[in-house]
Structure 1
Amino acid sequence: MALFAQLLYLLLLGVGFLALRRRIRQARFIKKHGCKEAPSLMGNTSFFGLDLRFLFLGCSNGGLETLPLERQFEVLGSTFRTQMAIRPVIRTMEPQNMQVVFSLDADSFGNRPLRHFSFSPLVGDGVMTLDGARHERARALIRPTFSKLHIENEEAYDVHVQKLINLLLTDGSTVDLQPLFERLDLDSSTEFIFGESVQSLDVSDSLASSHRFPAAFNVAQQGMGVRLRMLPFNFLHRDKKFWEACSTIRRFVAESVEKAMVRRQNANEETARSYILVDNVVQETSDNTEIQDTLMNVFLPGHDTIAILLSNIFFHLARNPRVWQKLRKQLLELPEITTGNLKRMDYLHHVINETLRVTPPVNNMTRIAVKDTALPLGGGPDGLAPVFVPKGTVIASSFYSVHHRKDIYGDDAEIWRPERWEELKLSTLAWKFIPFGGGVHVCPGQNLAMNRVAFTVARIVKVFDSIENRDPVAEFIPLYKLVTASQNGVKVSLHKANVS
């Protein structure tokens, strides 16, 4: 018993010594860098700020997640401390802080500790869940496929767009575009990534089995969102349907990889499908698990982002018929719809950028400090001093909030107005307009996404001469998953142009 007491005493003494040494080290760091305290928002309850967690979850379920956050920024400034469950959190809408987190001091902030447990059942290890050298290795595997030559392969993509257009009602009936865009993106992305489309836009009964993939993906995506929001208690997550959905998708991916390997080994068949991701990756590695993880780490963020961006664009166009007519007039002047021609369509890109600004698919992005560090702004009464960031602190960067800053985008920053981009220049908006993130983890498929979105919008606007909103709710009500969609969908009526 005496020995146990002595060991316990030594253990407590050691823990105390380490804690004291850490406090001394942190104090020296704070003094050296001139750090000052940021404004603080803590919950009223004494149990780890769980009231704040429930506030955000409640607002999220009601489509109002950004509302309390915007009010907090108004009261506390562009950077403040808070707490969610047992984790200290710093929320910021300061561009300079985001640049430090995602680029200048990216080695001090990790991605894997926050995402891996939530995402790994579906995506494993890849660009979404890795840091450092392993992350760079994962990016290297997909880099060749996202070269300029490959991302402009519009012929294969146009097949899916034409299927979508053929499904659009032309008799004045109401149609919800959002699920159709999800199916378009699902078909095109499964072909681009896995080498074969699930053909969800095809109404043939013979393809019913392929429709299991989109159903399983929706279940898996919702499950990952739940696991992410449960941090740090997500180890308590239990959902049989989630695991079954992940297994269904991984089986599809495994079959796609096996077919790609057969194509590569069979000299009598075409193997150089350079625009197909799986065919490129199997040339870089023979590790089956690494190949599958690589594919899923591209599919997960890429699939919904394009579909939701398209949905949000048409949400705004339906409420702004003037913009539709202006855009259509310019598109009709083009000799043909090609990626090259569309790159010269400034107004089309103004429409896309304004949608990314007002209703970004990704509202918020988090990182966790893997060592003691600092943010350049947010401390002191004026918010201009550095802020100390202890190891283990979560940094929540609000892309939505910085995109709505009136000091950057004007007093009408809350309004969707594409013409503002006639004066704004992307070169002057570094870290003030970041719909695809930035730095070492910037979305590798952003050019592909922009090309496909522009191509789809141009095709539809050219075929239909008018669009009418059929949703009685005029405002955009967010639906928060891993990305942010319209809770009410995109209910419209389209009128097909007469072809002379």
Structure 2
Amino acid sequence: MAYISFQYFMYLCAAFILYYSVRSYISNRRFRQFALQNGCAAPHQARNKLPWGIDRLYRVLNLAKSGEDLLDDIFVQRFLDEGWTMQCTTLFGAQIIQTVDPQNVQAVLATKFKDFEVGEGRHKQFGVVLGKSIFTSDGPFWEHSRALFRPQFAREQINDLASTEKSTQDLFQALGPVDENGWTASVDLLPLLYHFTLDTATDFLFGQSVDSQLAALQISKEGEDVAEKAGHVNAAADAAQEDNFADAFATANKYMVLRIRLQGLYWLVNNTQLQRAVATMRRFTDQFVQLALQHSQSSKRAPSASEAVGKERYSLLSALAAQAQDPTEIRDQLLAILLAGRDTTAALLGWVLYVLATHPAVFQDLRAAVLAAFPPSSWSSTHPITFTSLKACRYLTYVLNETLRLYPPVPLNLRVALRDTVLPTGGGPDGSQPIAVRKGQVVVFCVYAMQRREDLWGSDAGVFRPERWEGRKLDWGFLPFSGGPRVCLGQQYALTEAAYLVVRFLQRFDRLDPVSGAGSRAPAGKVEKGLGLIMSPRHGVRVRLHAAAAAAV
């Protein structure tokens, strides 16, 4: 009997192998015919030292010990060695496409948008933190989410900079006093920037700020807690809780990155520390969910963005509650947009202030341009800082663009093919022919590497030079905010917030000197990057600032 059972089992195994082989043969034949019909040639196959690219995976997981840079030493170098578009073998033999060709990126994000999606893999890797939200979804739910968020980023909303000014003054207060020579103490600006963007993001999205900058300083006014006096949620304004939220997000961020790097083995990363971090983040956000539901019960509907101008401010909080009653959905959406608004803008500001500190000539040129456009003594009257006036300061735009070129907040991204499709270039011996992409195949595009290609940006592509933007038009070789239908909704918001704070910094300070910090293992001249979901300066932005004689108060 046992023999018969074993024999039956072997028959089943043989049948399965035969079925899989025939199915694979038919699928491969069909795909070859598709490629032939569309004039495609095979992409360059990247080389691995070990099967499945285990050697590269080991390097990625061993970055902390080796001191290698994931982007410069692994991704950029491989594109230089193998070409701008290649096919790579990953875990379990999966074949992915990697590209830094603007034509291919444009096809993936725009011209063939309906052929690609962010994919189930992103939901599985990110969903442990972000749940079902605009960043982890495709199809109708993504379309619904985007339509819901779009009014929040109307120009009228972005141009309301009163809260930004308040948060700017809170940041200046956090810098502390200057000494008899006008210098501040050495300070790491990056944590202050995260407080700044959390405060502006919560006010912009939810209609009230958590005042995290003031709470972190334990500042009170007239003997009362600032947040309580303003009528804010007590727990949300508590410094310890905000710090817990920031720490929890840093922890969750670290583990999400590890889940991404492990590719199909992402599920191995789901330990107690990650679960506790997620629970802390959700408790923080649940406070806003309760406010949203309470507001929904007392109001028939949320005001539209056009109705909100000059009246009650449009709030994503109220809009979500008006259209969704599921607390989990509201929480996930709020958490996703809060994290995006907080971290991308803080990272951009961190890099801007880093490059200004390390490029004193650029600092002085930019300060001259800013003072010409926005004299400190009259910034609030005859020279108001607005969305339009910030856009009109060309050198400021050049500095922001050059910072985003060299240090894009999201340096890597990917899409998954929904069906067999074609990318316009990367095939054949010289890489000039179209390539076929199989249904389910992953296409990874590295914005960081693309924006440093010398054939696109010149032989000084690795040099910070804002003047290169004089007369240059934006194209698909510059994608710090992605492109196509999924282009970042908050692009203008982030640029306006960053530009505003930079202007106020340059009005107030005439020197920004870098201070060497501990912890760096990079060779001289090499910039160390902190790579989470967002790329930021790895060791912060430690500087001293000198107050200008006519600084605005």
* Alignment TM-score > 0.5, same fold: yes
Instruction: Indicate yes or no: 2:349 matched with 1:314.
Output: no
Q: Which amino acid aligns with 1:122?
A: V
Return the offset for 1:5: 5.7
Q: Deviation string for 1:49-89 (max 9, x for gaps)?
A: 21111223334773511223222222221111212323322
Question: Residue 549 of structure 2: SS of its match in structure 1?
Answer: coil
Indicate the residue corresponding to 2:275 in structure 1: 243
Aligned-pair CA distance for 1:191: 2.9
Query: Quick one: distance in 1 between partners of 2:274 and 2:10?
Result: 47
The residue number in structure 1 matching 2:538 is: 487
Whether the 8 Å CA contact 1:92–1:395 is kept in 2: the answer is yes
The alignment status of 1:72 with 2:78, answered yes or no, reads yes
Deviation, structure 1 residue 265: 2.9
Q: Does structure 2 retain, via aligned residues, the 8 Å contact 1:194–1:257?
A: no
SS at match of 1:366: strand
Preserved contact between residue 508 and residue 550 of structure 2 (Cα < 8 Å): no
Report whether the alignment pairs 1:53 with 2:98: no
**Compared with structure 1, are the counterparts of its residues 419 and 456 closer, same or farther at alpha carbon in structure 2 (3 Å cutoff)?**
same
Q: CA RMSD in A?
A: 2.3
Matched, 1:443 2:488: yes
Aligned partner of residue 336 in structure 1, secondary structure: coil
Identity of aligned residues (%): 33
Q: Who is 1:324 aligned against? A: 363
Match of 1:36 in 2: 41
CA distance in 2, matches of 1:481, 1:225: 6
Q: Quick one: distance in 2 between partners of 1:364 and 1:266?
A: 43
Q: CA deviation at 1:140?
A: 1.3
SS at match of 2:322: coil
Secondary structure class of the residue paired with 1:198? coil
Give the match's secondary structure for 1:34: coil
Match status 1:266 vs 2:298: yes
2:501 maps to what in 1? 456
Give the distance between the partners of 1:231 and 1:372, measured in 2 at CA.
22
Aligned partner of residue 423 in structure 1, secondary structure = coil
Residues in 2 aligned to 1:153 and 1:174: alpha-carbon distance in whole angstroms? 32
Paired residues for 1:388-427 under 5 Å? 388-426=436-474
- 2:222 aligns with none
Aligned to 2:263, the other structure's residue is in SS state coil
- Please show how residues 91-240 of structure 1 align to structure 2 within 5 Å: 91-169=98-176, 170-171=178-179, 172=183, 173-202=185-214, 203-204=217-218, 207-211=238-242, 212-240=244-272
Measure the CA separation in 1 of the matches of 2:62 and 2:489.
33
Structure 2 distance, partners of 1:238, 1:124, is 14
Cα distance in 1 between the residues matched to 2:161 and 2:77: 44
Q: Where does structure 2 lack aligned partners over 5 or more consecutive residues?
A: 220-224, 226-237, 375-382, 518-523
Is the CA contact 2:60–2:261 (under 8 Å) kept in the aligned structure 1?
no
SS at match of 2:443: strand
TM-score normalised according to structure 1 size: 0.93
Post-superposition Cα deviations, 1:115-136, rounded to whole Å, max 9, x if no partner, equal 1112112211122111122211
Residue equivalent to 1:293: 332
Provide Cα deviations, 1:401-441, integer angstroms capped at 9, x if missing partner: 11112222111111001111113122xx2x11100011122
Gaps of 5+ in 1: none
Counterpart in the other structure of 1:90: 97
Question: Are residues 183 and 53 of structure 1, via their aligned partners in 2, closer, same or farther at CA, if it must alter by over 3 Å?
Answer: same
- Whole-Å Cα distance in 1 between the matches of residues 152 and 352 of structure 2? 27
Q: Give 1:92 deviation, angstroms.
A: 0.7
What displacement does 1:3 show?
Answer: 5.9
The CA distance in 2 between the partners of 1:6 and 1:343, in whole Å, is 71
Secondary structure in structure 2 of the residue aligned to 1:468:
strand
Q: How many residues align?
A: 496
What residue identity is the alignment partner of 1:225? Answer: V
1:6, distance to aligned residue in structure 2 (A) = 5.5
Moved more, 364-373 or 23-32: 364-373
Q: Report deviation, 1:289.
A: 2.3
> 1:348-359 residue pairs with structure 2 within 5 A?
348-359=396-407
| TM-aligned CA distance change 1:177 to 1:363, over 3 Å | same
Residue identity matched to 1:39: H
* Contact 1:367 1:394 (8 Å CA) reproduced: yes
CA contact (8 A) 1:369 1:393 kept: yes
**Cα distance per residue 1:239-261 (max 9 Å; x no partner):** 21211111122122222121122
